[in-house]
Amino acid sequence: MPKPIILITNDDGITSNGIRKLVDLMTGLGDVVVVAPDSPQSGMGHAITVGDTLRLTPNHMFEGIEAYECSGTPADCVKLAKHQILKNRDVSLVVSGINHGSNTSISILYSGTMSAAIEAAIEGIPAVGFSLCDYSPTGDLSHVDKFVTKIAGESLEKGFPRGIALNVNIPPKQHEEIKGIKICRQANAKWEEDFDKRVDPHGREYYWMLGNFINHDKGEDNDEWAIANNYVSVVPCQFDMTGHYAISRLNDDWDI
Which residues within the stretch 62-81 sit at the binding site for a copy of itself (CB under 8 A)?
A: 75-76, 79-80
48 is an interface residue for a copy of itself by CB under 8 A: yes
**By CB under 8 A, what part of segment 148-167 binds a copy of itself?**
150, 154, 158-161, 163-164
Burial class (CB in 10 A: 0-12, 13-18, 19+), 205: exposed
For 31, 114, 128, 163, 219, the CA distances from 236, given in Å and listed in that order, are: 25, 11, 9, 10, 17
- Closest contact distance (angstroms) between CB of 89 and a copy of itself is 16
**Does residue 174 touch a copy of itself according to CB under 8 A?**
no
Determine which residue in the list 60, 197, 202, 218 makes contact with a copy of itself, applying CB under 8 A. Answer: 197
Q: CB-side exposure of 67: number of CA atoms within 13 Å?
A: 21
Nearer of residues 9 and 23 to a copy of itself, judged by Cβ:
9
Burial of 254 (0-12, 13-18, 19+ CB in 10 A): exposed
According to the binding rule CB under 8 A, does residue 35 interact with a copy of itself? no
Reference 152, options 18, 1, 28, 3; nearest CA is 28
Residue 135 touching a copy of itself (CB under 8 A): no
185 binds a copy of itself (CB under 8 A): yes
Q: Is 170 in the site for a copy of itself (CB under 8 A)?
A: no
